[in-house]
Chains A and B, each alone.
Chain A
Amino acid sequence: MGDHHHGPAKGLSRWLFTTNHKDIGTMYLWFSFAMFILGGFFAMIIRAELFQPGMQLVEPAFFNQMTTLHGLIMVFGAIMPSFVGLANWMIPMMIGAPDMALPRMNNWSFWILPPTFLLLASTLFMDGGAPAAGWTFYAPLSTTYAAPSVTFFIFSIHVLGLSSIMGSINIIATVMNMRAPGMTYMKMPLFVWTWLITAFLLVAVMPVLAGAVTMMLMDVHFGTSFFSAAGGGDPVLFQHVFWFFGHPEVYIIILPAFGVVSQIIPAFSRKPLFGYDSMVYATASIAFLSFIVWAHHMYTVGMPVAGELFFMYATMLIAVPTGVKVFNWITTMWRGALSFETPMLFCIGFLVLFTIGGFTGLMLSIAPADFQYHDSYFVVAHFHYVMVAGAVFSMTAAIYYWLPKWCGRMYNETMGKTHFWISFIGFNLTFFPQHFVGLAGMPRRIPDYALQFADFNMMSSIGAFIYGASQILFLYNVIATIVAGKPVSDEKVWDGAEGLEWTVPTPAPYHTFEKPPKIDPAHAHS
């Protein structure tokens, strides 16, 4: 307390006891990258096993543990924390706030994560192995037929949910309460808007996930029958509760990515974002729709036709606000003074590939067609186009875009572009063929497959190894930048960038906006 003008503390205590949004953001980002590597390692095991038909490397039970942990770690450990880290770094700087609204809780939200993921990963070494019911852990696979480690998994999910809820409350309080005078809601950068809506979704659905795993816990250990028909419950109930969380969850993952892209494309088009207002309304519409489409993940469980139709039409509606967004990004680039630095490349990659993922989503939304696609590799291809080329590409773009502001050093552009092209090729080589094998009937989460799928699977595996290896280049580039990158001192690192974060010195000082900046009332949104 007291003097606010000194820099960070020395040594480990800086990180353990920090309340600084930039420190906490940095920890989130590094942690999520570590989880990205771990989850990626599990993916490599999966792809190595699927390199050829027949059983080569691992036991089927272990293969199931790999698909389960890969999904859980990528969703909860890599993508979500990475965007929370970005929110921590950028939101206070974008709205002219001195820090996050509740700094000590902010630190707690982060420090919960590493030991919890350690606990989750340690289930691999427990009797019966790690959870193996898929990242969606449907009952009764995750209850009646689960290994004892499921209890540790359940409590891990509880605690991860707690972390997300606290992080989100913090973001909501920051955005609602900490904006500099004159920073009205409709002047906020779009990244702040998308995170405000994402945080609302998180506070609304993480408790529902907690409810779902609590019912599992009760069924496993205390004799209740929520998911057991013999006692009057229903396994399908689990799917309803899970997907009531799970569908908003996929927008929790993608909305901040939309925000990032909406910051970067204008900067490298040297034009303001086209249709700012409609972007805000589209984001809010997507968030609203996300609550009424959950059962499109379960068309094949035997719902009444009325239910199938409702969820089908509601799902198709999502294409409208999403189309608005894609239209606006393209129109922002239209007749802009474009340049293609690494962040822009990743954003254009995002735009093309996310749109492909959106279209396959539209195909999956058609209930009768989904009966064919359901639980096939087509679904795997679809959600990797939106998760990897959507969320991960935009996250990568964000790192390249703001890294110079964070550390005052410029990354190696050639290496960055190389990273992009290898990623782009590796990604498409991995997942594009999966559309074909999926349509032809190859089921997901199976360690072996029929011979006619062999060629495409080998291509997928080679692509996955290429994509995986390209992340090492990324890691090297980031570390090399931090350690020995070319120093930059311009406040505005990119000449087309707009926003408050580009008005503070480079590298961003430990404390920014201890006094709120003046916002020009005539100035449009940034």
Chain B
Amino acid sequence: MTSQTSTEYEAYYVPEKSKLAVCATIGLVLSIFGAASIMNDLTFGEPGKDTSSWTIFLLGLFFFIATLFNWFRITIKENIAGMNSAQLKKSYVLGMFWFIFSEVMFFAAFFGALFYVRVLAGPWLAGEGEGGRMNGLLWEGFSFSWPLMQTPQEAVGGAGAQLIANNGTFTSAETSLSFGDAHAWWTWLPLWNTIVLLSSSFTCHLAHVGILNGNRGKFNFWLTVTVLLGITFLCLQYMEYHEAYVEYGLTLNAGIYGSTFFMLTGFHGFHVFMGMTMLLIQLLRSVVGKQFTADDHFGFEASSWYWHFVDVVWVFLFLFVYIL
């Protein structure tokens, strides 16, 4: 049935040994250990010095990021050295595709939570339907609307008055960030953020067209615009968060509206930061290292996929968190 023969086969590059995995593990495990210790106010080392958890966390994180940086540096060098066969390149393509798919599912968990609360659990808490028979007794006077501007706890008169225990005090915001509560459409930041992010997806595509045509000037120009638009988005989001916390009282403690709002927009913002960083690195590779050609620019392509993915998530956020 088989024999180990082959005709004109391009060898698949399998690195012999690598310290990267062990270094990345050390960094990752130290950073999660440090982070969990910080959250539980644990200290290590000499008594009286309470910075030890932070030291562990930051050292781990630094080591982790440095290892990842080195990891990507090595893979880029291998590609430039011509060690990557067409088949190996396809492995990277598949890897990136399925990584983005896993990110989609991560956001799906939070969107699922949002829909569940808005469509099912919220009305039940207000005593509606089959699911609400008990809840009506527990949370008398609570009525459900979205965005939720009065928590069940507030409806019954505070944490002391509620019939069941819970883990905190939940104080609603005065104003939501939904379109309905905006003063005027031109001061409504999410709209500008949408314009900024959608444009950046477009400029990212223009950069791609540039490199496909072998036009490095055009590539660099549009990629710079894209990165700047990404930074603009992050600045606007910072302003929005500031506004939410300081002016509207919309915080993580503001009940389920604040929880879902900050979780969805926060993780999205973090992903914008990641995507922007990825694109910035591609820009530096092109400007400083004169890397990428018309037919070999997967580092950029993968980052651009990520960028478009982040953009699509925003469209859903804009629709379900801000408008509807």
Q: How many A-B residue pairs have CB under 8 A?
A: 276
A107 contact from B18, B101, B164, Cβ within 8 A: B18
- Write out the residue numbers on chain B whose beta carbons fall within 8 Å of the beta carbon of A116: 29
Q: Given A165-B102, A517-B4, is A231 in contact with B125 using a C-beta cutoff of 8 Å?
A: no
B102 A222 Cβ-Cβ under 8 A: no
Collect the chain A residues with CB atoms within 8 Å of residue B138's CB: 229
Contact of B95 among A173, A178, A517 (CB under 8 A): A173
Verify if B293 is at the interface (C-beta below 8 Å from A).
no
Report the stretch among B148-156, B198-206, B215-223, B275-283 that lies at the interface.
B148-156
Asked if A208 lies at the interface with its beta carbon under 8 angstroms from chain B, I say: yes
Instruction: From known contacts A222-B252, A517-B4, infer whether A211 and B259 are also in contact, taking CB-CB under 8 Å.
Output: no
Looking at the complex, which of B86-94, B189-197, B239-247, B313-321 is the stretch in contact with chain A? B86-94
Are the C-beta atoms of B19 and A17 separated by less than 8 Å? yes
For B, the interface residue count at a CB cutoff of 8 angstroms equals 87
Chain B: which residue is nearest A16 at the CB level? B22
Q: Which residues of A contact B113 (CB under 8 A)?
A: 211, 215, 226, 237, 241
Q: Which of B13, B32, B148, B170 contacts A230 (CB 8 A)?
A: B170
The answer to whether B130 touches A304 (Cβ under 8 A) is yes
Bound form: Cα–Cα A229–B117 in Å? 10
Please determine whether A208 and B105 come into contact, CB atoms closer than 8 angstroms.
Answer: yes
**With A19-B15, A103-B14, A159-B28: A231-B116 Cβ-Cβ less than 8 Å:** no
**B130 touching A104, Cβ below 8 Å:** no
Which of B14, B36, B135, B159 is A155 in contact with, Cβ under 8 Å? B36
Q: Does B9 contact A (CB under 8 A)?
A: yes
Closest residue to B19 on the A side, CB-wise? A17
B112: which A residues are within 8 A, CB to CB? 208, 240-241, 244
Contact with B along A358-397 (1 / 0, CB 8 A): 0000000000000000000000000000000000000000
Interface residues of B in 102-128 (CB under 8 A from A): 102-103, 105-106, 108-110, 112-113, 116-117, 121-122, 124-125
The answer to whether B187 has its CB under 8 Å from any CB of chain A is no
Query: Is A207 at the interface (CB under 8 A from chain B)?
Result: yes
B77 vs chain A, min Cβ distance (A): 11
- A1-18 residues with Cβ-Cβ distance < 8 A to B are 1-2, 4, 9, 13, 16-18
- Is A219 among interface residues, defined by CB-CB distance under 8 A? yes
Chain A residues near B263: list those with CB within 8 A.
Answer: 214-215, 218, 224, 226
Contacts of B167 in A (CB 8 A): 140, 143-144, 219-220, 228
Residue of A at shortest CB range from B121? A234
Does any Cβ of B come within 8 Å of A204's Cβ?
yes
Instruction: Decide: A225 and B255 in contact? CB cutoff 8 A.
Output: yes
Let me know if A101 is at the binding interface, CB within 8 A: yes
Do residues B22 and A207 form an inter-chain contact, with CB atoms below 8 A?
no
* A177 contacts B91, C-beta separation under 8 Å: yes
| Min distance, Cβ A321 to any Cβ of chain B, angstroms | 23
Chain A interface (Cβ < 8 Å from any Cβ of B) = 1-2, 4, 9, 13, 16-20, 96-99, 101-105, 107-108, 110-112, 115-116, 119, 140, 143-144, 148, 151-152, 154-156, 158-159, 162, 165, 168-170, 172-174, 176-178, 203-208, 210-212, 214-215, 217-226, 228-234, 236-237, 240-241, 244, 302-305, 500, 503, 511, 513-520, 523
The 4 closest A-B pairs by CB, nearest first: A211-B109, A232-B256, A231-B170, A224-B259
